[in-house]
Each structure stands twice: as structure tokens, then as C-alpha cells.
Amino acid sequence: MKKTFLVVAFALMGAAVMAQSGSGFGIKAGLSYNKNGDLIGSVGDGGQDIIEGAEGKTGYHFGFWGKLDFPKIYLRPELVYSKTKSSYDVDGNSQDYDVSKLDLPVLLGYKLIGPLHIFAGPAFQYTLNNDLGDLQVEDVENDFTVGLNVGVGVNIGRLGLDVRYERGFSENEARFIGNNITDVSGRVDTRPSQIIFSALLKL
């Protein structure tokens, strides 16, 4: 009985893997836990620098993916809209820093065993908008930046699940200023540091 169960389980797993194997395309969506870089500011005319780390908050993303499948590896480019959120203590008040961007990860994957695979690759990022609470924020220093994605995933039929870590290669700052002369002003680093959870559906 145990052997029969194992044979059936492996047969079903093999069928599920084959169902999503091969080249194709699909949609994806998910959640992320985000943390931008440091906020560096000065209060009023004091000129004393204040460095605050971000408190990460949940963000989200959705988009499309394509896949070129080979025997042991695959190439998967993605086009994703994402919104990240971090919280900073600015002059005694909590301010949420929202960043909207388009991501184009280009992932090279390696199939480990059964439905399990690992992947890594660059993520080309274009910043659409950034907002820091009720403070005036300039555009980011560089609209276009490059990051790195590293992760692991599993495919079950037409459905795929993966978790990845994303990190920017360099700082990308935006300057901000308060509503009056006594408010804090300075710059905030928009470079991403995220844990991203995604669900993928092959169409």
C-alpha cells in the first residue's frame, strides 16, 4: 500500500511539473516586505544631521512574465508594477515613504528536483513616483536603477509560487523639505531592500 501511494504521488507530481514545463507566459501578483535606506536630515537651522533607519511595511506588485524553457535551465523576463512603503520618524512624526516603480527582472533559473527551482538575475527599475507623507519631495536622483533578485520557487500545474530577495546595487536619493523653516529637511535613500512573495499563473 505504501509503495502504491508513493508511485501515485510521484506520478501526480510528474504530471504537475510537465503541465507547467515548456516555454510560455503568464501573470503574477504578490506582496512584499520593504525597507528603504536611511533618511538623513537636519532640523531647522541647527544643522545637526539626523540619521534614521526605515521601518519596513507591506507593499504589493502585479505584472506579466514570459519563459524560455531548456532542459535544466530557463530564462524568465518579467514586467512588474510595484509599490513599496517604509515609515520614518520625521521631526517626531511618523511619515510613510511610498515609492511606485516599474521593474524588469531578467531571471536565469536552474531546476533542482521535481517542481523546485532557484533563480537569480538583474532587476532594471524605473521610478514612477515617490511621496514622503506631507513633506515636499523632489524626484529621485536616478529614475533608472539596477538591482538584484535571488530566490527559490516551486511549480504545481499552471501555478507557481516563489520567494525572492531584492536589493539595489547603489543608493538612489531624493531630497525633501518641510512646510516651514523649522521642519526637518534633508534626503532619503530610495534603494530597495525587499522580501517578495509571488504567485504566478501560466496562461
Question: What is the overall mean pLDDT for the chain?
Answer: 77
Alpha helices in 81-172 (DSSP H): none
State the maximum Cα–Cα separation within the chain, in Å, rounded to a whole number. 79
| Beta partners for residue 35, in sequence order | none
pLDDT tens figures, 169-186: 766 656 665 554 445 556
**Residue with the larger pLDDT of the pair 15 and 176:** 176
Distance CA 181, CA 177 (A): 9
Integer distance in angstroms from the first to the last C-alpha of the chain?
A: 37
Q: Write down the pLDDT at residue 115.
A: 92
Q: What is the pLDDT of residue 10?
A: 42
Mean local confidence (pLDDT), 104-123: 95
Report the DSSP pairing between strands 136-137 and 116-132.
unpaired
**Residue 23, pLDDT above cutoff 60:** yes
Domain extent listing, the chain: 2-202
User: What pLDDT was estimated at residue 16?
Assistant: 36
Q: Which amino acid is at 52?
A: E
Pairing of strands 55-69, 116-132: unpaired
Class for the domain spanning 2-202: mainly beta
Half-sphere exposure of residue 177, counting CA atoms within 13 Å on the CB side?
A: 6
Q: What is the pLDDT of residue 175?
A: 66
pTM score, whole prediction: 0.74
